[in-house]
Structure 1
Amino acid sequence: MPHPTLDPVTLLQNVRPWGGTPSDIAIAGGLITAITPAGPPVEGAVDGGGLLALPGLINTHAHVDKSWWGLPWQSYGGAGGIQGRIDHERSRRRELGFPSVETTAAVLREFARHGTTAVRTHVDIDTDIGREGIDAVREAAAAYDGAIDVQIVAFPQDGVLRRPGVLDMLADAARAGADHVGGLDPASIDRDPVGQLDAIFRLAAEHDVGIDIHLHDPAELGAFQFDLIIDRTRALGREGRVNIAHGFALAQVDDLRRRDLLAAMGELDITLTTVAPLRVPQLPLRELDAAGVAFGFGTDGIRDLWSPYGTGDLLGIAWQYARASSIVRDEDLIRVLELATRSAARFVGRSTHDLVAGSRADIVLLDAENPMDALVRTPPRALVIGGGRVLHAA
């Protein structure tokens, strides 16, 4: 499947932003310049046919460097659990040609087809593959010339301290332009939560990059690591620069413990991302909002050596979160859709991401009655525009 032509759009006519009245959206320089009531057809404009318009979806947690999308089916193998999946991946990734520009490009195409216009992706860094994954992701993303906005987290999938040299490689990645550095289960993977977190926070402060830590550890073990992250964020002045991915523990501790953790996170602007896994309780949306904790959705890996599941549709992840959380009221359904779109702006370094003048022209059209209908039905994306250029047209 070839890359899109990236044809520029200067006027998108007869669309309904967030389900509102029919409008025309003017675009220049990759930005929305005006939104006006729908007028008569203009030669050269794109006719939106009265479809619902939403801001582009923002995928806040992906692994675009290691999918077998587009390759022959791979049967699930190896042991379960985090360590089992790490071992299985290390044993087979070279055989399957990971990382590669081609497989990464296939994932980005699926993201674009489903309406994602910006993504924060974790990219493996370790002593076997070095920075090959980052190089592959950058080359695949470059084909879109910025129409898909890709931010990179240098991710130590096999641990930070237990593999000598990984910290140096993370520092090299930060110097080479990675937007964030990652960590992974400091207690259960490195078995030295203080050591891993001290090292990651020092590195991030030295190179002035963000931090995005995978934290799968459950209940009080996970909550203890939340405490450590909170302490280091405060001590090193990293407010607004730290994200915790997965964070299952928050939904597994008692209400009082969760309240205190969320209050500290809100104070320090520590964010959360989730892939809405079905096997654990979902992170509580209303409690997060009440504490002022920003929250985003991600697809995680899709069709990789960890799991055969995943389609690349972030709207499907939002649907999964809403359904698993028993969210049914209109205002809550809209809030979930906001988390997948305009509320996720900060996860890709934006102050605004919406259908408003001055915002980047990232627009998705769907055949839906209103935003609630779009979420619960997840209809196909009819048109996807990224930075004012066509990424997908049905």
Structure 2
Amino acid sequence: MTASTTRTLIKNVRPWGAETTDVVVADGVVEKVGAERDGEQVSTHVIDGDGRIVLPSFTDAHVHLDSTRVGLPFRPHTGRPGVWGMMMNDRENWRNTETPHRDIVAGTMERMIAAGTTRIRTYAQVDADCKLERLESVLFAKEKFAHHAHTQNIAFPQAGLLREEGSVEDLEEALKNGADVVGGIDPCQLDRDPARHLDIVFGLAQKYRVGVDVHLHEPGELGVFSAELIFERTRALGMQGNVNLSHSYDLGSVSPAVSARLTDEMAELDIPWISIAPAVNAPQFNLMQLTEAGIRIGLGEDGQRDYWSPYGDCDMLSRTWQLAFTHHLRHDSHIELAAAIATWGGATIIDPSLARLASATDRPGFNAGDPGDFVLLEGETVTSAGPLGERSFIEARSWPPPEKWWL
């Protein structure tokens, strides 16, 4: 132990609601769980958790910070049906504020951090209308709060790649200017040329050595078809572990045999699933089954009181309860799994070097070397903490950008 080591003792806390203990963090990572003994290095900082539950800090694995209206006066919803109609509503309104766009984005990120989220995967729309304006706002917020949260930016072609001239060039420019991941969306329904759409997305990923994240809202067998095309390219290009499926809520509603096959392929190719816990009538993927299969799962808020919907409150604990509710979870252990997904699950998507959830009963984040970012919750158990409980968070600022997949 060197004299320059910064150590924090978080005493009198209950990891995942277990027995009261202490957590020692050294230079931003967990050193050990348990009290300091006589003769050991005295901690630089001491925080008394007063018996609260301690969890890894939250990860918002899917949020559109570039569309947020958090902090602005409420406005009636004016969206039109369908992805294209909602996107056009966003396009028509996002500039019409007195507050500069980058300050709105940064203000929303600040509220997320205040609620205990220290890892963020945010999309930045890139299209014929905004070019790189929205990406620049997201990059501004990322830099402003770099010491409080690790942010990963996805260049996202919300309007598709084939419907408007210059879309592909704009997306490539975003990758040249700071985007970490290249996005895709509904290759069949939106662009109506899935092979070309995915060839462009994966081609850019190969050229700029970045990962891929595809929004998949397509229903039933159409969604299965697009997913299979994504799997084919992932396998052929050796991009296992670097391609994510977002939404994809209908893939769990097809026949049990097809869902089982998709689960097997996602596990083989290490393709994570990122949910926003939508209210859909059809069955979704089973959280327990995907976790037991070794598939990484993340959770996000999607919109934040934006031009798509009035929902989203910057609070991932609230969204954790939505995940449990929309998956019909009742048992405490299952609700705790939802919390593990909202905290650690998304972290493993941002940084695949972290050990993924080993099982549906795994309660991670307190092994030596784990990131020392935590959230403290009031409550007797994780389930009893609820979305209305008081919370605070402890950040160790321990999140350097993870290594790129091609190194």
Using the size of structure 1 for normalisation, the TM-score is 0.90
Contact 1:65 1:137 in 2 (8 A): yes
Residues 322-346 of structure 1: per-residue CA shift (max 9 Å, x gap): 1222212232222221111123222
Contact 2:266 2:295 in 1 (8 A): yes
Residue 33 (structure 2) aligns with:
35
Contact 2:113 2:148 in 1 (8 A): no
Residue 110 (structure 1) aligns with:
111
Residue 379 (structure 2) aligns with:
368
Residue 4 (structure 1) aligns with:
none
Deviation at 1:32?
2.6
Residues 127-174 of structure 1: per-residue CA shift (max 9 Å, x gap): 222222222112222222332111000001111122222222222222
Distance 1:187 1:369, change over 3 A: same
Residues 284-333 of structure 1: per-residue CA shift (max 9 Å, x gap): 21332343322111100111000011112222222112122221223222
2:327 to 325, 328, 333: 325
2:339 to 326, 337, 340: 337
- RMSD between superposed Cα atoms in Å: 2.2
Deviation at 1:97?
6.2
Unaligned runs of 5+ in 2: 1-5, 355-363, 399-407
What is the 5 A alignment of 1:1-394? 10-37=8-35, 45-96=46-97, 100-281=101-282, 282-352=284-354, 354-374=365-385, 377-388=386-397
What is the aligned length? 380
SS state of the match for residue 211, structure 1?
A: strand
Partner Cα separation in structure 1 for residue 212 and residue 43 of structure 2: 47
Deviation at 1:388?
4.8
Partner Cα separation in structure 1 for residue 297 and residue 45 of structure 2: 39
Unaligned runs of 5+ in 1: 1-7, 390-394
Contact 1:345 1:351 in 2 (8 A): no
Contact 1:69 1:107 in 2 (8 A): yes
SS state of the match for residue 293, structure 1?
A: coil
Partner Cα separation in structure 1 for residue 251 and residue 100 of structure 2: 33
Deviation at 1:43?
8.9
- More displaced stretch, 160-169 vs 230-239: 160-169
Partner Cα separation in structure 2 for residue 330 and residue 39 of structure 1: 34
Distance 1:309 1:167, change over 3 A: same
Contact 2:57 2:116 in 1 (8 A): yes
Residues 212-237 of structure 1: per-residue CA shift (max 9 Å, x gap): 01010111111110111111111111
Deviation at 1:181?
0.5
SS state of the match for residue 182, structure 1?
A: strand
SS state of the match for residue 67, structure 2?
A: coil
Contact 1:123 1:134 in 2 (8 A): yes
SS state of the match for residue 278, structure 1?
A: coil
Partner Cα separation in structure 1 for residue 365 and residue 225 of structure 2: 36
Partner Cα separation in structure 1 for residue 345 and residue 9 of structure 2: 25
Letter in structure 2 aligned against 1:133: R
SS state of the match for residue 167, structure 1?
A: helix
- More displaced stretch, 176-185 vs 225-234: 176-185
Contact 1:65 1:99 in 2 (8 A): no
Contact 1:211 1:241 in 2 (8 A): yes
SS state of the match for residue 66, structure 2?
A: coil
SS state of the match for residue 184, structure 2?
A: strand
Residue 3 (structure 1) aligns with:
none
Partner Cα separation in structure 2 for residue 99 and residue 162 of structure 1: 29
Deviation at 1:68?
0.8
Deviation at 1:263?
1.0
Partner Cα separation in structure 2 for residue 86 and residue 43 of structure 1: 50
Letter in structure 1 aligned against 2:235: R
Residues 322-371 of structure 1: per-residue CA shift (max 9 Å, x gap): 12222122322222211111232222125337133322221000111122
Distance 1:97 1:223, change over 3 A: farther
Distance 1:60 1:370, change over 3 A: same
Deviation at 1:209?
0.4
Using the size of structure 2 for normalisation, the TM-score is 0.87
